[in-house]
Amino acid sequence: MFTRNLLLLIILSSCSIASIDTSNLDFDDSFSNSDKFQFNKCLRNTSERIKLNDLQFNYLAENINSQGLEFNTRYILSLTMKTQNSDDIVLDSKRLNTTNYISSNMADSEKKEIKNSLISDVCELINNYVK
């Protein structure tokens, strides 16, 4: 029973670690491993050499009510891209989110989801630019 479960786990993990060609993408130290993985995943069909620098993810709370429970948060993700045929290009994506989470775990989870959405938006901009 244990051997069967272990074998199944090994097979599933080997399938989930599919090879993604990342030789055309270059990142600086401002990218976390999860950020690099998401960019590699969404830019895997791009053959042009791309260098990504200065990833910044900022957020600002606005319009806090008198109880301090509901507020608008503006999220901004920006980076600098350089391709073979271009100078530095600054790309950014913005979102406004209304939240009332008191729990820091819920707020952190939501922040990660929004960051992933912003990375997807920037990936789409990069794909449109290099085509």
Residue 90 lies in a domain: yes
Asked whether residue 4 carries a pLDDT value surpassing 70, the answer given is no
Task: Please report, for the domain that includes residue 61, its CATH number.
Answer: 3.30.160.150
Residue 52 lies in a domain: yes
Residue 10 lies in a domain: no
| Intra-chain end-to-end CA distance of the chain, in Å | 51
What is the DSSP code (8-state) at residue 113? H
Residue 112 lies in a domain: yes
Q: Which domain holds residue 45?
A: 22-130
Phi-psi region of 130 (alpha: psi -120 to 50; beta: other; left: phi over 0): alpha
pLDDT for 54-112, tens place per residue? 999 998 876 666 665 666 788 999 999 998 888 889 999 998 887 665 556 677 788 88
Residue 32 lies in a domain: yes
